[in-house]
Amino acid sequence: MNGLFSENKECSSCAACENVCSKDAISMQLDKHGFLRPVIDETKCIKCGLCTKKCPWIKKIQSPNCIFEFPITYAAYAKNSAIRRESSSGGIFSILALEILKQDGAIIGVAQLNTTSFQHIIIQNEEDLRKLRGSKYVQAEPGKIYRETKKLLQKNIKVLFSGTPCQIAALYSYLGERHYENLWTIDIVCHGTPSIKLLEKYNQEIECRTNGEIIYSNFRDKISGWKQFSMTQVIKCHNGTIHHESHSLLNDLFLKLFLSNICLNSSCYNCKYNGIPRIADITLGDFWGIKKFHPEMDDDKGTSVVLINNSKGDTLFNRIKSQIIFCRSELNKAINSNPCILRSYPPNTQTNDFLNDIDVFSLKELLKNIK
C-alpha cells in the first residue's frame, strides 16, 4: 500500500528522503497541485526513520565548511560574450564549471529533459555544459542525484554541484558528517519554485493556439535585453517548420503568474535556507539595478551578483578572475538588488484557490482573478 510520507506543507521537494532510503521505498510524485511530494511504498518500508532524520526541513542543515560571517560580494560577468549571451545573468556559473571540467571534474545542475520535465544531471564535458545554462522557472526533480554525487566523490572526482538552497542542504544532509575536499557547491538566489501544473497549462494553451508542439522553453531569453527578458518557446509546426514565439516579461502569462508569487511551493514562502549566512560555497543570482550600484558594469547583457561564502568558494573564484569582468560590491547593495538573498516572498491568500482552479480556467482568466 502506498501512502504519503508527510502531509506537511513545508516539504520543499528536495528528495533527500528518496535518496537516503536504502530500500527504495520512497518515490517523489506529483500531488494534486503539481508539486513533488515523497510517497512511501509500505511494502518496502522497514520503519528505520532515516527519512525523517535526514529531512533538511525537519532539522536545519549547516554547511560542512567554515562559512564567513558575511560573504564577500561581487558584481561580475564573463568576458566570453557567447557564454554570457546564452546565460540568464552574467555567465559566472559556466566559467566556474569550466574550471572544474579542466581538472577532469563533473558538473551537476538542472537540465530540461522535455518541455515539462526538468532534472539534475551530471555532465563531464564542455559541450554538454550548455544543457545546464539558463534559469528554469519550474520545480526540478533531483532524482537520485545525491547518491550519484557521493559515488563521484568517493572516486576522488572533483564535483561542482549547483541547485536551489534547499537542494544544497539536502545534499549535505545525505552526505552526512564527512567533509569532501573535492566538492564545491553553488546555490542560486531562489525566487521560489512554481507548480509544474502551471507550466503544463501554459504549454497546452500555446500548443492549442499554434497547432504545434513545443520542443524547448527558454525562460530567460535576452533578445530584448537582460533587464526586460522574454519567455521564448521553440515550436515545431505540423508542417515540420520551426517557429519561435517570444513574450516579454511584461506580457507573458507564465512570467506574470510566477512573479505574482501565487503559484509557489508552500515551503518557498518560509524558506529555511535563504538569508545570511548562505548554505553553499558560492551564491549566484542577478544583480538587478546594477546601473544604480555599479554603472560601469551595466550594458544590459547580464550581470551576476556573486556571494563568496567561505574560503573554499573564495579559492575557486580567484581561479577564474582572469576570465571575468568584476568589481567588489557590498552585501547591502546585493540585497537591495535581489531581496530573495535574504527573505522569502509572503504567501498569497489566493494560492490554494488558484492551484485548484488551474484545470478549470484559462491562464488569462486566472490572472484576471488575482487581487
Q: What single letter denotes the amino acid at residue 292? A: K
Q: Residue 151: is its pLDDT beyond 50?
A: yes
Average pLDDT over residues 138-164: 96
pLDDT tens-digit profile of 98-132?
999 999 999 999 999 988 899 999 999 999 999 99
- Locate the DSSP E strands across the chain: 2-4, 26-30, 36-41, 67-78, 106-114, 117-123, 159-163, 183-188, 212-221, 230-237, 242-248, 282-286, 304-310, 324-328
Radius of gyration, alpha carbons of the chain:
20
pLDDT averaged over every residue in the chain? 94
185 neighbors 282 (Cβ within 8 angstroms): yes
**CA–CA dist 340, 73 (Å, integer):** 15
The whole model's pTM is what? 0.96
Angle at 84 between CA 78 and CA 87, to 5 degrees: 125
Q: Residue 371: is its pLDDT beyond 80?
A: no
Q: What single letter denotes the amino acid at residue 142? A: P
Average pLDDT over residues 160-189: 96
Report the share of the chain in percent with pLDDT over 90.
92
pLDDT band at 2 (very low <50, low <70, confident <90, very high): low
The reported pLDDT for the residue numbered 32 is 93
* Residue ranges of domains in the chain: 1-371
The reported pLDDT for the residue numbered 239 is 85
pLDDT band at 1 (very low <50, low <70, confident <90, very high): very low
Q: Residue 279: is its pLDDT beyond 70?
A: yes
pLDDT tens-digit profile of 88-100?
999 999 999 999 9
Q: What is the DSSP letter of 297?
A: G
The reported pLDDT for the residue numbered 8 is 53
Q: What single letter denotes the amino acid at residue 296? A: E
**CA–CA dist 220, 166 (Å, integer):** 22
The reported pLDDT for the residue numbered 178 is 86
**CA–CA dist 183, 107 (Å, integer):** 10
pLDDT tens-digit profile of 211-236?
999 999 999 999 999 999 999 999 99
Q: Residue 153: is its pLDDT beyond 90?
A: yes
Average pLDDT over residues 8-34: 92
The reported pLDDT for the residue numbered 4 is 52
Q: Residue 157: is its pLDDT beyond 50?
A: yes
